[in-house]
Structures are given as C-alpha cells and as structure tokens.
Amino acid sequence: MGELADLLKRLVAPESLPQRLVTILEWTRSSLGLDGIALFVAERGPVGGVETRASLGSLAMTAPLVAAELSRTGIPPTQGVLPLPEGSGLHNAFLCCPLHFSNGAPWSALVLHAPRIEETARAREKDLLVAVAHLRDLLGKEREIARASVQEGPGRASDLLPNLSLLTEGLRLPLYVCDLLGKFTYASPACLELTGYPSLEALAQTSELFREPEKRAAELDTVRKLGKIESFPLAVTSGVGTKLQVRDSAVFLGHSILGMFFDVTGLLAANAELKDALQVQELLNDSIMAGSKQLQRTQGAAIRSLARLAEYRDPETGFHLQRICEYTRLIAMQVHLRAPFTFRITAEYANDISLSVMLHDIGKVSIPDHILLKPGKLDPQEWEMMKKHTVFGWEVLHKADRELGEQSFLTLAATIALSHHERFDGKGYPKGTAGEQIPLSARISAIADVYDALTTARPYKEAWSHERAVAEIVGGAGSQFDPVLVEFFRELNDQFAEVRQRFPG
C-alpha cells in the first residue's frame, strides 16, 4: 500500500511526459530490484530495418539490438511478459514486456535486466503490471478515462482517477478516494461490490455505511494528522443490508484520502470459533503434555535399564554411560545449530541421539565371557566373534522396535548399535558402509565412543591423555571419522575435557 501510494504521489505531480516515464522506470527498477531497465520505441525503416526513435533507461546493451530482435521474431500481440529469444544471446538475464503492437509486431517495449529475471517478474507480477499499465497509458493515449468533477488544485482527486483505474483494472483492488470530510469521490468496481452499492453516486450519498460513524471520523482525523493508517477496524452495513467487519488502510494524498477496504467478517467469525476450540485444545494439550513427559521419563528409564544389562557383562568404570551421553549431545547440538549437511536435525533429535547412544554396546550381552572379559589381545577368531556384538545389538533392539510399532524410541538405538563401528573410508564393520551412507547418529556416536575408550583405563591399557586422544581422533578425519564432525569435535575438545573431569572413572 505504501509503495503504490508513493508512486501515485509522484505521478500526480506536474511533470512532463518524459519526466513521468522516468518516474515509472525508476519506481519499477527499485520495486523489482533490477540491475537495469530500458524503455524504447522503434519503427521499421524503409527496407525492413529497425530504427530507434526514443530510448530511456540504463542497460548494458543497445536499444536498436533489442528492437531488431523483437522485430525479427514477430512476437504476437499479448499483454503478458515474454523472454527474449534464445538466438539473441539475451534470454538468460533479460525480459521483454511488449507495450504496443503494429501489424503484429511490437513497436514499443519495456526491457528488464537482472539475474533470474523471469523468477523475479513472477514474484512481483502485480508491481510489473502496474508499471506496464502506466507506460501503455502514457505512450499510447489510446483511451480517455472519466475524471470526477471535483475542486481543482494540487493533489486533487481528479488527478488520481486515471492512475486508480489502471491500478484496479484486472487486479480487483477494493480502492476508494474520499475528500478530507470522508465523502467518496471514487470507488473501484471491487469496492462497490464489497460495500454492496450499485454506483459511486449511491455510495457517496448514503449515511448508513458505517455503523459507528464516530470511529470513521476518528480514523479520518488520524489520517489527516499522521498521513496514514493501517488495518483500522470498521463495522459496515452494505447496501443490501449485510453487516460486515472490514479493515481499512488509508494514506493522505494532498486534498484527498486514498484507502482500501478488506472484508474480514468471515475471518473474525472463524477466529471466534477457533478461540473457543483453542480453550478446549489447551486443556487437552495440558493432558497430552503431562502424558508425553511421563512417556519420556519412562523411555529414558527403559533405555538406562537396558544399558546397564551390557555393563553387567562388560563392566565399565565410573560414569561411562553419562560421559557417552554428554559427548554425543555436544556434537549433535552443533549439527543442529550449524546445519553442515543437506538436511537439518532438530534440537529434540539431537537429544534423542544422546539418549539412545547408551545402548550402543547392548549386543555384548551375547558375547561369551571368555572373549568379552579376556584381559589380553583377542585372536582373529575371537575378534570376529566380538565384532558380532553390533549385529546382535541391532537384532534385539530392532525386534523390540517392531513390537512397539516401528519408529519408537528404540529406532535410533538400533541404528547406533549396528553402525557405530563403521568407518568413513568403508573399512569398518559389520557392513563396510562408507561416508555419509553411515547414519549420522552412528557417525556422531563413533567419535564419542572412541574418545571415551581412549581416555579410560582398561585391563590391557593405560588411559590416554586428553591431548593424545584429541590428536588421534583429528588424525582419523576422513578415514575413520566424518571430517565435518571431527572439526566440531576439535572445536569442542575443551568441553569434552570438562565432561571427563565432571564424570571421572
């Protein structure tokens, strides 16, 4: 509304024809964010050539070249926007809006220049149609538009009417013009249809349009003082007796007020019904939220209980599970906040990963004691059996997930259990999956699991220092680990050390 009002103010100023053309070109270029714009008028020469009679604007090309292309292609008469032909070499960034035609070929046109210009033109189609309508009117002088008989003077309503007719033609905007006291001097067809009056004369003579005249008077007073008002609520009785609720936006233009009514009757009624429904929904939501929180607590307790089964067979010292959760959450939240991949994850998903990772070694309950608890290095046959804990873990969790109806709180846990020993270079196990084909949850868990294993003392090794463990993981970027996630780990390594101190063992 503000941009159109600004254009109207400039168009009613006492300018020459070239000045008005430049005004429209400047407004169009600014409104659409163009790199260049040009208006030209061309005519055929004596031997079929093309001469440029007039050219305004700034484009990195010659108007005769564009005119020649238009003439050569014989574009049929149209009111639309056409791309320049591919043979011209101009079709990628230029768009042509033919304005007038003679013998089937254009003799005046508006040419626009910007990257992805067709997409820009579609997005700002109404602004472009407004500019084209004004240019056709100023250049063609093909029709006379009735002017209201009102007092002459700067900014008078009669100067607005041609522009308003062009604006409302085809756009069905419920525009009106009134004098400073509120008497209607112009009403678009859409405005008359909305208010239910057959003509401007009937609308101007009625005193029953506004059910609360004092509110309408207050609105006009605000427009006169502040220059504009937006979405002002008014109660209206239409010419056929229908009661309506409208929102009015208006601007002060010289000795006239330009406004636009929008019917919000149905919207307000729907809002009232929605408000009642929302009150009921709030009560339901409270119950659902309480149940959801209880379910989350139950799921968390179930995961922790299952994770402790693995610890009974493969006892870890101290706060192993708590550390794994915290390490995983640190990296997962960075993925959520920085979105380094072609997909995004939510904060809730990041928290789900950090909880599900506790079950990454649940499959070890199926590994025989003489292998699981062996203090020394495993032989090749024993190692092959140990690697099967990933498949065992997936099988038991996937079976439970199916019994819960798929996509339960165990879905992520099963995925992590199966794939947390895969390597980014495809040399891991059990499937040898590589790169981003490895699930994100497993790629994150792998770093957390290895860091904790390196910095924890085991019967067969001493605990590594934080610095040595960080160097080992950073050195494995692109081979053992996802390099994007390793970079996050490197940036977060001080926080990993803090977690290690908070949960020792």
Secondary structure (DSSP) of 354-420: HHHGGGTTGGGGGS-HHHHT-SSPPPHHHHHHHHTHHHHHHHHHHHHHHHTTSSSTTHHHHHHHHHT
By three-state DSSP, how is residue 339 classified? coil
Locus of tokens 């409104």? 31
Amino acid at 326: E
Residue 102's pLDDT is 56
Please state, in angstroms and rounded to a whole number, the distance separating the CA atoms of residues 156 and 168: 19
Could you give the count of Cα atoms lying within 13 Å of 175 in the half-sphere of its Cβ? Answer: 26
CB under 8 Å to 36, separation ≥6 — which residues?
Answer: 29, 57, 58, 59, 60, 112, 113, 114
| Per-residue b or e along 355-394, where b marks 16 or more CB atoms closer than 10 Å to that residue's CB | bbbbbbbbbbbbbeeebbeeeeeeeeebeebbbebbbbbb
DSSP strand E in 189-330: where? 228-237, 243-253, 256-263
| Domains of the chain in sequence order | 2-140 (3.30.450.80), 157-263 (3.30.450.20), 302-502 (1.10.3210.10)
> What is the amino acid identity at position 397?
L
Provide the greatest CA pair distance for the chain: 105
Q: Which one-letter amino acid corresponds to residue 463?
A: A
Which residues, other chains included, contact 247 with Cβ-Cβ below 8 Å and sequence gap of 6+?
231, 232, 233, 234, 261, 262, 264
**Whole-number pLDDT of residue 123:** 81
**Separation of alpha carbons 484 and 488, rounded Å:** 7
Find the helix or strand (DSSP H, E) in which 178 lies: strand 175-178
Which pLDDT belongs to residue 490? 96
Which two structure tokens, joined as six digits, stand for 163? 């522009």
DSSP state of 481: B
The pair of structure tokens assigned to 228 is 């504009």
- Residue 354 half-sphere exposure toward CB, CA atoms < 13 A: 20
Query: H/E/C letters for each residue in 434-470?
Result: CHHHCCHHHHHHHHHHHHHHHCCCECCECCCCHHHHH
97 CB-contact burial (10 Å; exposed 0-12 / middle 13-18 / buried 19+): buried
Q: 449 near 324, Cβ under 8 Å?
A: yes
| Gyration radius of the chain's alpha carbons | 36
Instruction: Judge whether 226 and 201 are in contact, CB under 8 Å.
Output: no
pLDDT of res. 333: 95
How far is residue 184's CA from residue 160's CA, in Å, rounded to a whole number?
13
What span, in angstroms and rounded, lies between the C-alpha atoms of 203 and 259?
15
**How high is the mean pLDDT in each 10-residue block of the chain (505 residues)?**
56 56 78 76 41 38 45 41 45 67 60 77 79 74 33 44 54 82 88 92 92 93 87 92 91 81 82 64 56 54 62 60 92 95 90 88 86 85 93 86 69 92 96 95 96 87 93 96 97 95 86
Report the candidate in 37, 96, 29 with the shortest Cα–Cα distance to residue 68. 96
pLDDT score for 101? 58
Distance CA 61, CA 28 (A): 19
Q: For residues 300 and 476, is the Cβ–Cβ distance under 8 A? A: no
**Cα–Cα distance, 353 to 417 (Å, whole number):** 12
Angle (CA) 127-131-132 rounded to 5° is 115
Torsion of CA 106, 107, 109, 111, to 10 degrees: 90
One-letter amino acid identity for 500? R
